[in-house]
Structure 1
Amino acid sequence: MTAWTEHLARLGANLADAALHFSAPASEARAADEATIAVPLLHLGVIRSVGPDSAEFLHNLVSNDVKKLAADAAEWNSFNSPKGRMIASFLMWAEAEGHAMALSADILPAFLKKFSMYVLRSKVKLSDASATLALVGVAGPETAAALQAAGIELPAADMRQTVNAAGVRCIRLDPQTHVLAVPAESAPAVYDALLAKGAVKAGTAAWQLRMIRAGLPLITAPTQEEFVAQMLNYELIGGVNFHKGCYPGQEIVARTQYLGKLKKRMYRVALPAGAAASPGMDVYAPDFGEQSAGKLVNTAPTADGGSEALAVIQCSSAETGNLHLGAPDGPALALLPLPYALG
């Protein structure tokens, strides 16, 4: 354990499971509904790209425009296979000497190894910064007050960032949702300050529920190379630039955008209590019979004992509303609204 995780354990965090939690799932989901939560984002890791060629190197590999990423900005981004299937999704931000990418920790080692194969003669160094940089998610109606009281300057707009004198970086996803990137040695003090100002400690599932309701997907090991960017609504959340030039999978992503109607989209769904749900599980619908009509992307329990998920589903199947999990006669799924229009 690190000093950061030891501190969380002293605060009552259960670190034995894959997802960190402080209390029962329903209790943490209720906090995500009603309170301002402070979540150690241990399910994410950070890769740093440092060097004079960082912007150009990354720009040639990912779906968004890195060359035009401002020093005070962040963006959603992805790395795709030659067939246009997403290998990793990540939040990217600019740093003084390069860039950082926050992605699912379960895919980070293999992704870093694969990404490093492209460095060649580029003046750039890639490294796993997860041990030196702690990520904390803060979300809820009193987020701004908690951050300011903890000495953290607020970004002026969505997908903008600030860095204070102590090196604490604050990235605003929306007015009530921020991600902090904190030097690991400072993480316990910053977290305690947030709790002292009224934020409620919560675990991974509470943050995932917030991300599901925001329509922000995260690629994890079970869903790697399953989806083209638009299936995950990535162009709708600003994760794809269609004018930046070539990158792996670019031709497929562009063709999906400009030729024909998109057959699959990502939807938000509700699952009933007792329905076991996990990323990669199949969704079924009558118009596809015994064949899968989609897959779950991310899932999280809700306060009522059920769960919510982001799911990539055939548009024709979603339009009927007759959706089932795991089998054609499995638990019924109910469509829920997303905060943006699917178009």
Structure 2
Amino acid sequence: MTTWITTHGGRLSSPSDVEFDTPDPARTALERTVAIPLAHLGILDVRGPDSIRFLQGQTSAQLNLIDGHFAPLTAFCSVKGRVVANAQLLRVGEDHFRLILDRSLVEPLAQHLGRFAAFYKAELEPNPDIALIGIMGPESAALTEVDCDLNAPGVWHQANSNGTIALGYPGPQPRYLIMVPGPQADALFERLLKQCVAVGNAIWKLTDIQSGLHFITNEQQDTWLPQMLNWEAQAGISFKKGCYTGQEVVARAHFRGQVKKRLFRAQVEGSEMISIGSQVTNTDDKRVGEIIACQQDAYGQSEVLAVLNISAEDMNLSFEGRRMQLLKLPYSIERLDPESLAPPGQS
């Protein structure tokens, strides 16, 4: 399913990392519209007449809002309220929902949810036969409309046409995730490259960091409450729905103000990449959190996301002696109900 990538000059340095020979891809992405194979993301489909009831009892999303237009963030939690996986949830058909998440968690989440799905008429199907392509930059909306025959959707919304789906994503520039059946990926990517430059998916990951958005990997499961990933500030938690696994812990932490850690965006001096899980310390060399994502920006600096103690906002921070400067997030750390983003009449 990756031949469409190699045909157009891409190479997989790992199953989740795509590279092209485009010079200075981060700077190119600032100046041009780019097309990006999103090899680090995967798909888990949920089908069946009980799919709504099943998902309603497992996810932080309110299922009656997800109507084929609104496609919000969501989280699946353990009974202790820790995130087992976080994803974007969309509706493909009447009894067909789709999750977009880190590819390393597709099978683990299917196994986790499979314990509950056995009691419902619902099936969990990893779907590697759909290609995921990112379009980002000033012409991305026009290309989504012309080359994909889709109206460019708003952030956390979707558009559908003849088996192709577009999802709107946040970022400093307009960007869209396009889902297309695998056999059609080569032709679509070829059309896009007439107007775009191909770059590796490190650029999409960098934009996620700049957007304060993180989809956990299999190594980060069962570690943080969803609020520690700022999930409620990005409409990823409905506090108006009924019970789901972990809901009591998540709600109690919110209403009692018990969230002691948050997701921060930062820049670390120097261009050397930082290992995920590296400790962040204060001037007393006391650990205040850890780095959970890192990419190099157009200026050769390491931009990171880190889960830190809330008090770290007022501290001088460092990583192995390298100064860390906190950067502004593109959203407020306030509860944003998904009901406020849904189409009128759906909330």
Instruction: Please give the TM-score of this superposition, normalised by the length of structure 1.
Output: 0.91
| Distance in 1 between residues matched to 2:7 and 2:204, nearest whole Å | 21
**Is 1:7 matched with 2:4?**
yes
What is the SS of the residue equivalent to 2:55?
A: helix
1:59 corresponds to which of 56, 61, 74: 56
Which residue number in structure 2 is paired with residue 178 of structure 1?
Answer: 176
Shift of 1:259: 0.6
The amino acid across from 1:304 in the alignment is Y
Cα-to-partner distance string for 1:28-52 (whole Å, 9 max, x where unaligned): 2112322222111111110000111
Equivalences for 1:67-78 in 2 at 5 Å?
Answer: 67-78=64-75
Shift of 1:127: 0.6
The amino acid across from 2:165 in the alignment is R
Shift of 1:156: 4.7
What is the SS of the residue equivalent to 1:16?
A: strand
**Unmatched 5+ residue regions in structure 1?**
none
Which residue number in structure 2 is paired with residue 237 of structure 1?
Answer: 234
| Distance in 2 between residues matched to 1:228 and 1:27, nearest whole Å | 37
What is the SS of the residue equivalent to 2:62?
A: coil
1:169 corresponds to which of 165, 171, 179: 165
1:84 corresponds to which of 81, 84, 87: 81
The amino acid across from 2:82 in the alignment is R
Which residue number in structure 2 is paired with residue 306 of structure 1?
Answer: 301
Cα-to-partner distance string for 1:157-186 (whole Å, 9 max, x where unaligned): 332211112x11111124812111111110
Equivalences for 1:65-214 in 2 at 5 Å?
Answer: 65-96=62-93, 97-130=95-128, 132-165=129-162, 167-174=163-170, 176-196=174-194, 198-214=195-211
What is the SS of the residue equivalent to 2:145?
A: helix
Contact 1:104 1:218 in 2 (8 A): yes
Instruction: Please give the TM-score of this superposition, normalised by the length of structure 2.
Output: 0.90
Shift of 1:261: 5.5
**Unmatched 5+ residue regions in structure 2?**
335-347
Equivalences for 1:12-23 in 2 at 5 Å?
Answer: 12-17=9-14, 18-23=16-21
| Distance in 1 between residues matched to 2:112 and 2:144, nearest whole Å | 36
Contact 2:141 2:152 in 1 (8 A): no
| Distance in 1 between residues matched to 2:200 and 2:80, nearest whole Å | 35
Which residue number in structure 2 is paired with residue 38 of structure 1?
Answer: 35
Shift of 1:14: 1.9
Pick closer, same or farther for the CA change 1:155–1:303 going to 2, 3 Å: closer
Q: CA RMSD in A?
A: 1.8
Which residue number in structure 1 is paired with residue 329 of structure 2?
Answer: 338
Pick closer, same or farther for the CA change 1:89–1:102 going to 2, 3 Å: same
Which stretch of the first structure deviates more once superposed, 155-164 or 332-341? 155-164
Which residue number in structure 2 is paired with residue 259 of structure 1?
Answer: 256
Cα-to-partner distance string for 1:284-338 (whole Å, 9 max, x where unaligned): 1236x44x21122222111222221111111111222x1112x4xx311111111
Aligned structure 1 segments of 4 or more residues deviating by more than 6 angstroms: none
Contact 1:223 1:279 in 2 (8 A): no
Pick closer, same or farther for the CA change 1:252–1:199 going to 2, 3 Å: same
Contact 2:273 2:295 in 1 (8 A): no
What is the SS of the residue equivalent to 1:8?
A: helix
What is the SS of the residue equivalent to 2:233?
A: coil
Shift of 1:149: 2.4
Cα-to-partner distance string for 1:47-85 (whole Å, 9 max, x where unaligned): 000111111111100111123312222110111111111
Aligned residues between the structures: 330
Contact 2:110 2:124 in 1 (8 A): yes
| Distance in 1 between residues matched to 2:257 and 2:126, nearest whole Å | 40
Pick closer, same or farther for the CA change 1:103–1:263 going to 2, 3 Å: same
Identity %: 31
| Distance in 2 between residues matched to 1:319 and 1:342, nearest whole Å | 16
| Distance in 2 between residues matched to 1:82 and 1:280, nearest whole Å | 24
Contact 1:135 1:181 in 2 (8 A): yes
| Distance in 2 between residues matched to 1:156 and 1:187, nearest whole Å | 20
Contact 2:264 2:307 in 1 (8 A): yes
| Distance in 1 between residues matched to 2:69 and 2:298, nearest whole Å | 36
| Distance in 1 between residues matched to 2:278 and 2:52, nearest whole Å | 36
